[in-house]
Amino acid sequence: MTAHLPLSAQIAAALDWWREAGVSYAYSDEPQEWLDEIAQEGAPPQGAPPPMMRARPEPPPPQPRPRLGGEVDQWPKSLGDFAPWWMNEPTLDPTGAPGRVPPRGPVGAALMVVVPMPESVDAQSGQLLCGPQGKLLSAMLRVMGLGSDDCYIAAALPRTMPAPDWDLLRNEGMGAVLAHHIALAAPRRLLLLGDRILPLLGHDPSQKPALLSLINQSEAGHGRPEAGTDASGIAVLVAQDLGMLLENPRRKAGFWRSWLNWPDGLDGIRD
């Protein structure tokens, strides 16, 4: 019957039959190239690998980070020039975040105290260690018989940081900056309150810090210091940071024993 129908009617009838069977599209088992690169403009030459197989270009190398503190020959030459430089030198904190706090105290102090970083409240007051840790330190110094004029108070970092990468900071030159700072302050003795500070000055962190040490200025990365800026002969006492002493008062007794066992004791500070 359908043989007498026109060809167009036969094709329409066949399509209707497939639609009623649930088939709306024509399918083929033969694989076909979906992305016909040859037909496109700029097709790769014969024998070139497909675009998906080409090696991706190497990303450009990252730009080297500036050395913390900048060029050594541009560092301050006196303690009076250090605090303004500490507050404004951009390479000391490439993030540009606010909150730097200056050190305080006289040159040639009987004791220089270095803490890892300012307290969180110091940025508002503009004075280093004006919070709970500062109150503890003031009480400790009174017991030691030392007043504010006898001490130079400083931090290894210019501002509070949530989780500083101390190894990176040392590799980028912060230890050299700290050694230079100590040399300019020229204290008779040095108290480091925090076990992350001494590695900045060249101590091997895998070894337990001795109670009595000397600054290894060359390992701190300072290189050849200028005349009058050598900190390598200053005796160092290392203790736990003030935050840990606040959390566990029993540790205060351990610190006091270390202080009394420091060769020459209090007489070495007061002479």
Contact 258, 211 (CB under 8 A): yes
CA 39, CA 71: separation in Å to the nearest integer? 59
Q: Measure the CA–CA gap between 130 and 142, rounded to whole angstroms.
A: 16
**What residue ranges define each of the domains in the chain, with the CATH number in brackets?**
107-270 (3.40.470.10)
Q: How far apart are CA 34 and CA 32, in angstroms?
A: 6
Res 34: pLDDT: 61
Residue 149 to residue 105: CA distance in whole angstroms: 7
Contact 114, 192 (CB under 8 A): yes
Q: Walk along the chain (271 residues) in steps of 10 and give the mean pLDDT of each run.
A: 69 78 69 60 57 68 77 93 96 89 96 96 94 95 89 96 90 93 94 90 61 47 42 81 91 89 59 52
pLDDT at 195: 86
- DSSP string for residues in the chain: -GGGS-HHHHHHHHHHHHHHTT--S---SS---SS-TTTSTTPPPTTPPPGGGSPPPPPPPPPPPPPTTS-GGGS-SSHHHHHHHHHH-GGG-TT--S-----BS-TT-SEEEEESS--TTHHHHTSSS-SHHHHHHHHHHHHTT--GGGEEEEESSSS--SS--HHHHHHTTHHHHHHHHHHHH--SEEEEESTTTGGGGT--TTSPPPSSEE--TTTTT--SPPTT---TT-EEEEE--HHHHHH-THHHHHHHHHHHHSTTHHHHHH-
Would strands 189-193 and 235-239 be described as parallel, antiparallel, or unpaired?
A: parallel
Q: Which pTM does this prediction carry?
A: 0.70
Burial 24-54 (b: 16+ CB within 10 A, else e): eeeeeeeeeeeeeeeeeeeeeeeeeeeeeee
